[in-house]
Amino acid sequence: MDIYFEDRGAGPGRPLILVPAALSGIRTSYGMLLPLLVKTRRVVAIELPGHGRTPDCDGPYTVEGFAAVVMHLLDRLGLAQADMLGWGLGAAVALQFGTHHPERAGRLVLASPAFDRGGLHPGLLDGAQQLRPEHLHGSELHEEYLRTAPAAAGWDRLVTKMAVLDAHPPEWTAAQIRALRPPALVVVGDADIVRPEHAVRMFRLLGGGVPGDVCGLPRCRLAILPGTTHASLPQRAELLAPMVEEFLDEAR
């Protein structure tokens, strides 16, 4: 299916695909980071099916389906490869793309990634399916949706379908993370919904946690942002942008 995207900026190297978080559009996920990244590179920011200006899809939401949509977009734009930055649900989509389409994935920036249920603080998923559309009325997410979506009535369907996905989040095995081919930068806040121990575990599975002065830097990176919650992570754009740019520029 065709999805809404904004193609901005220019520069050498692979373009960067920005994948927003659940219930979020381009502005609520990357309104502060996007203007910084487009100064040095081509950035394609997308909105997932049912989110913002992208029409909904038939059937339930899955990260497999969302990753297939990203693949379709790369084909549509004639891109053999692209780097990818995802936050929350977007990180899961980027990870799915990297594990199942490694030949099309350049470098991955995974913000607040949890590759299994143990990655989240205990109890956070309790009652996920009880989330109702009205619970989020008046929130920044709801207001963005009302500004951008073709019809306000689609909000109820979006929240209902996302609640099902949140109650049954995607999971990867340790072997799948260890076998990930694209280099990855793992980013979490120190007060994130993802436990810092999980971020470190993922970093080690990717080949990190080694004495770099002795054996050289690994291909993966880990960043834990101080004083940062899950919701505030993309607002730390002044911290994030140079980290992301340095990591992506290593391929140039």
CATH code of the domain containing 229: 3.40.50.1820
- CB atoms inside a 10 Å sphere around CB 171: 13
**Domain encompassing residue 13:** 5-249
What confidence score (pLDDT) does residue 12 get?
86
Yes or no: say if 142 and 217 are a contact pair by the CB < 8 Å rule: no
Q: pTM here?
A: 0.96
Half-sphere exposure of 252 (CA within 13 A, CB side): 12
CA 78 to chain CA centroid, Å, is: 22
pLDDT, tens only, 60-69? 999 999 999 9
CA 148/CA 129 separation, integer angstroms: 25
CA 164/CA 159 separation, integer angstroms: 9
Yes or no: say if 80 and 43 are a contact pair by the CB < 8 Å rule: no
Residues in the chain with pLDDT values less than 70: 127-129, 251-252
What confidence score (pLDDT) does residue 252 get?
54
Domains in the chain, number = 1
What confidence score (pLDDT) does residue 124 get?
76
Q: Which helix (H) or strand (E) holds 226?
A: strand 221-229
What confidence score (pLDDT) does residue 251 get?
63
Q: Sign of the CA dihedral 241, 90, 227, 131?
A: positive
What confidence score (pLDDT) does residue 126 get?
76
CA 40/CA 115 separation, integer angstroms: 31
| 23: phi then psi, degrees, rounded to nearest 5 | 70, 5
What confidence score (pLDDT) does residue 248 get?
96
What confidence score (pLDDT) does residue 127 get?
66
